[in-house]
Amino acid sequence: MELGLRGRKALVTGASKGIGRACAEALAAEGCDVTLVSRTSADLETVRAKIAAEHNVGVRVFALDLSDSRNVDTVATECSDIDILVNNAGAIPGGNIAQIDEARWRQAWDLKVFGYINMTRRFYAHMAARRSGVIVNILGAAGQNPDSDYIAGSSGNASLMAFTLAMGGSSPRDNVRVVGINPGPVMTERLITLMRTRAENSLGDPEKWTELMKPLAFGRAAKPEEIGNMAAFLASDLSAYTTGTIITIDGGGSSRRSAL
């Protein structure tokens, strides 16, 4: 499907792997010039080379830690003309409240929760001034279905859900859209790390993590490309009346939750 994105400029955070990489590749495939931001320079260069080889688009990279708001300021200044912002950076660790101490909790939230907020604050101002732009926040289904074994992530994603809904509800007055995606399990390195933690807590052995995947819808986790394709669609004018809402992609997992 032609999404009409050719020639637009997109910035994706956490773009060196997983969902972020898939979002960047989907947007590049639609003709967007892409800016990739992540903390790891080598991984960014790998993605940059792949996109440049496969698509006739511009590719820029910034190896920056967005938990530091000074780096957010740098990106916002260097990339003030961005049409599409995809907030994706952040990997909140699994564990219950006894396992995640204050320092670890704060460190995780500095990147994902406050990173999203600060990136939105800076880029929304540019978009509102131009009266054009879309922000797509990649959140997480645990914010919708909290899990005590993923307490920091559940709480952080719930906060970002409220943030996305609040921003997107009022953004039409500036001719800007803000939307979110709640992925369920997605086959990434991060999912394996979380499943290992959960397997250790529930089964006593982190190596049994694959057993926890068996009940998933269609017998698998989502593919990163399935999230990336939705991000590209939401960013396009084919979805021009969509704002202040969150799309859940979890194989129907949220709908299968028991009320008891």
State how far the Cα of 68 lies from the Cα of 91, in Å rounded to an integer. Answer: 15
Residue 259 confidence (pLDDT) above 50: no
Residue 70 within any structural domain of the chain:
yes
Q: One-letter amino acid identity for 234? A: L
Tokens of 19: 């969902």
The CA-CA-CA angle for residues 234, 254, 247, to 5°, reads: 10
* pLDDT higher than 60, residue 87: yes
Q: pTM for the whole thing? A: 0.92
Looking at the fold, whether 110 and 15 belong to one and the same domain comes out as yes
Total tally of structural domains belonging to the chain: 2
Mean pLDDT in residue range 180-189:
91
Tell me the CATH number at 234. Answer: 3.40.50.720
Same domain? For 122 and 202 the reply is no
pLDDT recorded at residue 218: 87
Torsion-angle region of 225 (φ positive above 0: left; ψ -120 to 50: alpha; else: beta) = alpha
pLDDT tens digits, one per residue of 203-236: 899 888 888 888 888 888 899 999 999 999 999 9
Q: What confidence category does residue 1 fall into, taking pLDDT thresholds of 50, 70 and 90?
A: low
195 within a domain of the structure (yes/no): yes
Query: What is the residue range of 38's domain?
Result: 9-183+222-245
Confirm whether 30 is domain-assigned: yes
- Asked whether residue 213 falls in the same domain as residue 147, the answer is no
Q: Please check whether residue 260 lies inside any domain of the structure.
A: no
137 plus 233 within the same structural domain: yes
pLDDT at 260: 37
For residue 165, is it within any domain? yes
Q: Which two tokens stand for residue 59?
A: 């590719």
